[in-house]
């Protein structure tokens, strides 16, 4: 386990990283006095940690979660009250979201309790979201005179469609985990308190898959959603063909024919 920057928190790090196995990292936001709300310090620590993990070749999956019974209840309103457009730019308040978008690891959000505002946007940056049954998702920024500014309007419309996204963002009303599942906003809903365990099991499954195929799938799905269908199909076909030049393709197919478990080497 590693802690980043525990000064000013009574010895407790507001962001920590655990490595249950070499292929999986768990990043935990631990700011319970504010329901894990994102302030600039926490966002910078998250960005630093994501960037430090980027160079680890053996790492396959990063799980993001919150300590206690909350994921992230939002961005710290007290810190934002007196901010100006210039201060947002100078302080790079969206740096963590750039770090998430730049990550080449599979990202899984394990959500308990609230994922609101910046917390919802943090989860939406992930490839998969596992939610506890009582979790709630929302973009309540409109209720304090602003709007989502870290991908909420764009990711939601691409994920759940215009009409559901408009309702959620224009009213600021949260949705339950079950509603989010029905909308296609989360991957799975589990019993309260089990989101992290379920995310770890999911991460272990993905970590056991051929790394080059995982990366190709993730890249094609990310790139394909913003281009015309014919272009996206061409991207998919090219990536599909390129995987036939890998040892993992040979191993996977031979293992299938030989009725044994494949051993993927990432090459």
Considering the entire predicted model, what is its pTM?
0.91
Where residue 219 sits, what CATH number does that domain have? Answer: 1.10.12.10
Q: Strands of 61-66's sheet, edge to edge?
A: 2-4, 15-21, 24-29, 61-66, 106-111, 128-132, 188-190
Is 46 a member of any domain?
yes
User: What does the pLDDT look like over 212-265, one tens digit per residue?
Assistant: 999 999 999 999 988 999 999 999 999 999 999 999 999 999 999 999 999 999
Is 246 a member of any domain?
yes
- pLDDT at position 77 is 78
Domain shared by 242 and 190, yes or no? no
Domain shared by 118 and 199, yes or no? yes
Domain shared by 178 and 225, yes or no? no
The pLDDT confidence band at residue 8, using thresholds 50, 70 and 90, is: very low
Domain shared by 153 and 232, yes or no? no
> CA-based angle 116:117:119, to the nearest 5?
65
Q: For the chain, how many residues are written?
A: 267
Q: Rounded CA gap, 200 and 177, in Å?
A: 19
pLDDT tops 50 at residue 64: yes
Domain count, the chain: 2
Q: Rounded CA gap, 185 and 128, in Å?
A: 9
Question: How many C-alpha atoms does 62 have within 13 Å on its Cβ side?
Answer: 28
User: What domain range includes position 220?
Assistant: 211-257
Where residue 110 sits, what CATH number does that domain have? Answer: 3.90.226.10
User: What does the pLDDT look like over 12-21, one tens digit per residue?
Assistant: 789 999 999 9
Is 216 a member of any domain?
yes
Domain shared by 220 and 183, yes or no? no
Is 265 a member of any domain?
no
**How far separated are the first and last CA of the chain, in Å rounded?**
29
User: What does the pLDDT look like over 86-118, one tens digit per residue?
Assistant: 888 887 778 899 999 999 999 999 999 999 999
Is 263 a member of any domain?
no
Is 200 a member of any domain?
yes
Of 29-38, 57-66, 86-95, the range with the lowest mean pLDDT is 86-95
pLDDT tops 50 at residue 45: yes
Q: Which of these three, 185, 207, 229, is where a domain ends?
A: 207
Residues noted as catalytic: 121, 141
- pLDDT at position 11 is 60
């Amino acid at each position: 386990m590693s802690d980043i920057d525990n000064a000013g928190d009574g010895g407790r790090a507001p962001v920590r990283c655990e490595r249950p196995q070499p292929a999986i990292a768990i990043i935990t936001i631990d700011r319970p006095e504010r329901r894990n709300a994102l302030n600039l310090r926490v966002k910078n620590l998250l960005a630093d940690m994501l960037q430090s993990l980027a160079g680890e070749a053996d790492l396959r999956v990063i799980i993001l979660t919150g300590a206690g019974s909350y994921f992230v209840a939002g961005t710290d309103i007290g810190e934002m009250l007196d901010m100006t457009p210039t201060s947002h730019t100078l302080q790079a308040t969206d740096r963590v979201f750039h770090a998430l978008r730049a990550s080449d690891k599979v990202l899984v959000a394990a959500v308990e309790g609230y994922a609101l505002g910046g917390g919802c946007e943090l989860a939406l940056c992930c490839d998969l979201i596992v939610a506890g049954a009582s979790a709630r998702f929302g973009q309540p920024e409109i209720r304090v005179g602003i709007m989502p500014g870290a991908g909420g309007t764009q990711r939601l419309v691409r994920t759940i469609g215009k009409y559901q996204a408009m309702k959620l963002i224009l009213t600021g009303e949260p949705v339950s985990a079950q509603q989010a599942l029905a909308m296609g906003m989360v991957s799975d809903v589990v019993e309260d308190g089990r989101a992290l365990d379920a995310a770890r099991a999911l991460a272990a499954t993905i970590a056991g898959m051929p790394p080059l195929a995982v990366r190709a799938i993730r890249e094609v799905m990310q790139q394909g959603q913003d281009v015309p269908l014919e272009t996206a199909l061409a991207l998919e076909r090219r990536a599909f063909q390129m995987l036939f030049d890998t040892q993992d393709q040979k191993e996977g197919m031979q293992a299938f024919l030989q009725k044994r478990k494949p051993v993927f080497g990432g090459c």
